[in-house]
Structure 1
């Protein structure tokens, strides 16, 4: 029954993923005509690479709560779960990761803790990279939008282990879970944040490869900052599958100094299409990795003992 539910969830997510591509294909195909094949292929490769880097950010956190899976196995769990973001609501990838991680000896509460923390790391780093990128790219913006850096610094405080533990505990209460969330130390958070920052840089490269052909005056810094900020807006609008609509509007707004609304919209449409294609490639890779796993490998890794108080790693 568990296997049927898992594959049923994946089937629904894949249908919604395909629907997202089909419904927007006319607009995307028109935008693709303004780009060269080199830019399209390069941007798609960057999206696929960013997906793998994001998986490493998630794995850095999950290792701290007991996931002993190898890199290929961790990639499989993460890549399969990513299609959950095409289901309305931002919680589905977290729930899918928790369910798939059970195959590797991690209990659902501990897996949920790790996935929530990894999601928070991604949100915080997107805010930081977005704020820094936009302020550096548009120097005059600092006098007017200085508060953006203040907000980014406040979000960075979420990566302090003691603060993050309270955020995770609140998430557990909101979802009505009675279990005690696992603790995640500062070293794991720093490793996850480093991988996540690298992911935003790679995604910035993907946006720049497209934007430089649509608006030749745009640079890498503003492309990176604008894309990270737009993703954050799309993530916060939980009612839209994968932030559809909200991300495009935010991207057009922040790119106004270097691109026309039509150019920014073309970037948003092509970028979403390529990221959807990257998710499909990741799904296929996850299924292929699962197919290569030995059937006899079913041993469950023991969970680390539950901590009763702060330890050296939480300093």
Structure 2
């Protein structure tokens, strides 16, 4: 039953992912006409690299709670779980990762802790990168928007292990879980944050490769910050699958100093299409890794979490 439910979830999520591609194709195809194939291909490659980097950020946290797997197996788990983004709500990838982690002997509470922390790391780093981008985008922004940097700094404090433990404990109470969250040390958090920051830089490159052909004056730093900010807004709007609609609106707003609304909207549409295509490719890669490693799905009940 558990296996059937798992594959059923993947099937539903994959169906919604496919619908996300088909339903927006007319608008996307129009936006694609303004771009060269070189920019599109380079942007797609950057999206796929960013997925792999994000998987490494997740793996850095999960290793700290006892998920001792190879890079290939961690990639499989992460890439398969990403289709959960296309189901309304922001928690489905976390739940999927927790279930897959159980196959390797990690208890559900520990797996939930790791996935929640990895998600928090992504949110915090997106806020920091987005704040820096906003300051770079608006002339004299430091004087007018100093509070944005203050908020980003306050969010960065969440990654202090003692503070983060309280945040995860609160998440457990909200979800009515009585277990004690696992402790994740500062070294694992630092490694995860470094990978996550790199992911935002790569995603910034993905967006910049597209926008530089639409609005040549847009700089890489501004586009990276705007994209991170838009992702954060899309993530917070939990009722939209993968932040659909909210992310586009936020990207148009954030890029206003360097691009017209039409240019920013074209970027938003093509970017979402390419990121969805990368998720489709990631799903295929994850399934292929599982097919080539028949022992990967066997539970590792003998694995023990590291001390601390």
TM-score for the superposition, normalised by structure 1: 0.95
Q: SS where residue 302 of structure 1 aligns?
A: coil
Tell me what 2:237 maps to.
Answer: 237
Matched, 1:210 2:210: yes
Tell me what 1:304 maps to.
Answer: 305
Distance 1:296 1:113, change over 3 A: closer
Does the 8 Å CA contact 2:73/2:296 hold for their aligned counterparts? no
Report the CA distance between 1:104 and its aligned residue.
Answer: 1.1
Distance 1:19 1:297, change over 3 A: closer
Report the CA distance between 1:306 and its aligned residue.
Answer: 7.4
Report the CA distance between 1:133 and its aligned residue.
Answer: 1.9
Tell me what 2:249 maps to.
Answer: 249
Q: SS where residue 89 of structure 1 aligns?
A: coil
Counterpart Cα distance in 2 of 1:69 and 1:304: 12
- The within-5 A match list for 1:44-83 is 44-83=44-83
Does the 8 Å CA contact 1:134/1:221 hold for their aligned counterparts? no
Counterpart Cα distance in 2 of 1:233 and 1:168: 21
Distance 1:297 1:34, change over 3 A: closer
Report the CA distance between 1:174 and its aligned residue.
Answer: 0.5
Counterpart Cα distance in 1 of 2:306 and 2:177: 20
Tell me what 2:146 maps to.
Answer: 146
Counterpart Cα distance in 2 of 1:301 and 1:27: 51
Runs of 4+ in 1 over 2 A off after TM superposition: 136-139, 294-307
Tell me what 2:282 maps to.
Answer: 282
Tell me what 1:93 maps to.
Answer: 93
Q: SS where residue 94 of structure 2 aligns?
A: helix
Does the 8 Å CA contact 1:106/1:301 hold for their aligned counterparts? no
Tell me what 1:310 maps to.
Answer: none
Does the 8 Å CA contact 2:64/2:306 hold for their aligned counterparts? no
Which stretch of the first structure deviates more once superposed, 241-250 or 295-304? 295-304
Residues 288-311 of structure 1, C-alpha deviation per residue, up to 9 Å, x if partnerless?
00001134873434222775xxxx
Q: SS where residue 159 of structure 1 aligns?
A: coil
Residues 141-198 of structure 1, C-alpha deviation per residue, up to 9 Å, x if partnerless?
2221111000000000000000000000000010011111100000000000000000
Q: SS where residue 239 of structure 2 aligns?
A: coil
Counterpart Cα distance in 2 of 1:53 and 1:103: 23
Counterpart Cα distance in 2 of 1:297 and 1:79: 15
Residues 180-219 of structure 1, C-alpha deviation per residue, up to 9 Å, x if partnerless?
1100000000000000000000000000000000111111
Distance 1:297 1:75, change over 3 A: closer
Tell me what 1:311 maps to.
Answer: none
Which stretch of the first structure deviates more once superposed, 10-19 or 291-300? 291-300
Residues 22-45 of structure 1, C-alpha deviation per residue, up to 9 Å, x if partnerless?
111100000000000000000000
Q: SS where residue 104 of structure 1 aligns?
A: coil
- Structure 1 unpaired stretches of 5+: 308-315
Residues 63-110 of structure 1, C-alpha deviation per residue, up to 9 Å, x if partnerless?
000011100000000000000010000000000000011111111110
Counterpart Cα distance in 2 of 1:265 and 1:72: 36
Counterpart Cα distance in 2 of 1:286 and 1:205: 24
Distance 1:297 1:127, change over 3 A: closer
Counterpart Cα distance in 2 of 1:105 and 1:19: 35
TM-score for the superposition, normalised by structure 2: 0.97
Counterpart Cα distance in 2 of 1:271 and 1:301: 43
**Root-mean-square deviation (Å):** 1.2
